Amino acid sequence: MALRGRNSAESNAAALADLYEQYYDRVTRYIAARIGNRDLAEDLAGDVFVRCAESIGSFEQRGVPLQAWLFRVAHNIVIDHYRRSSRRRNVPLDEALELPSDHEPQGEVEQKLIMDRVLQAMAQLNPAQQQVITLRFIAGLSSEEAGSVMGRTKGAIRELQRTVLKALRGRLGDDLEKVRFGVGEEGTQA
């Protein structure tokens, strides 16, 4: 999906519509994980696409994937949100993450306890570590795309991800494997 520059507004609109269809849910999950409020995340995700629509005519393909640009805009909107609200909340990922449910009360209680442990472990990560986990596993970006968003190489992203997962496995053990992130298998590839 490529934008063609200023002269083809129709193709840019079509590309933006495709981008919206393909990435709205991922952008919403990313924002929800960063701000801790699913309803507000949906509003802010809409703002991401409005901002993209406003600037799509000036977008130039410079080797940065379009989705990386989209998540950079989402990141900037999250930063703007924090500046406006002037307070930062902990990141409750339970709104963005899903645990498999067997619809049995005992299983649901066990899953809630696992999620509480995951949230406590995630809260101990630094902002870059939280962001790499959010981009890779909740938003489902590749290492290269996450690197474009964070201003790092894909190798640096893989190393940061490896370090974070090792730390989380040390704290959570097998419970980490029971967490199902909001994306498919593509979100777990390096």
Q: What CATH number did the domain enclosing 183 receive?
A: 1.10.10.10
User: Which residues span the domain enclosing 22?
Assistant: 9-85
| 3 assigned to some structural domain | no
| 101 assigned to some structural domain | yes
| 90 assigned to some structural domain | no
Residue 13: the pLDDT is 75
Residue 183: the pLDDT is 46
- Identify the DSSP state of 137: I
133 vs 7, residue with greater confidence:
133
Shared domain for 64 and 103, answered yes or no, is no
The domain boundary, picked from 44, 61, 85, lies at 85
Residue 33: the pLDDT is 85
**pLDDT tens across 100-133, in order?**
555 567 766 776 777 777 777 888 889 899 889 8
**pLDDT tens across 152-183, in order?**
999 999 999 999 988 888 888 776 676 655 54
Shared domain for 78 and 117, answered yes or no, is no
Question: Model pTM?
Answer: 0.64
Give the residue-averaged pLDDT of 64-86. Answer: 85
Residue 166: left (phi > 0), alpha (psi -120 to 50), or beta? Answer: alpha
Cβ atoms within 10 Å of 4's Cβ, excluding its own: 14
Spatial distance between the Cα atoms of 10 and 99, rounded to a whole number of angstroms: 41
Shared domain for 75 and 104, answered yes or no, is no
| 33 assigned to some structural domain | yes
Shared domain for 35 and 62, answered yes or no, is yes
**Model confidence band, residue 5 (pLDDT cutoffs 50, 70, 90):** very low
Residue 107: the pLDDT is 67
The domain boundary, picked from 60, 85, 110, lies at 85
Q: What CATH number did the domain enclosing 80 receive?
A: 1.10.1740.10
Count of structural domains, the chain: 2
Shared domain for 15 and 69, answered yes or no, is yes
Shared domain for 161 and 105, answered yes or no, is yes
CA nearest 73: which of 88, 86, 58, 87? 58
Residue 120 bridge partners (DSSP): none
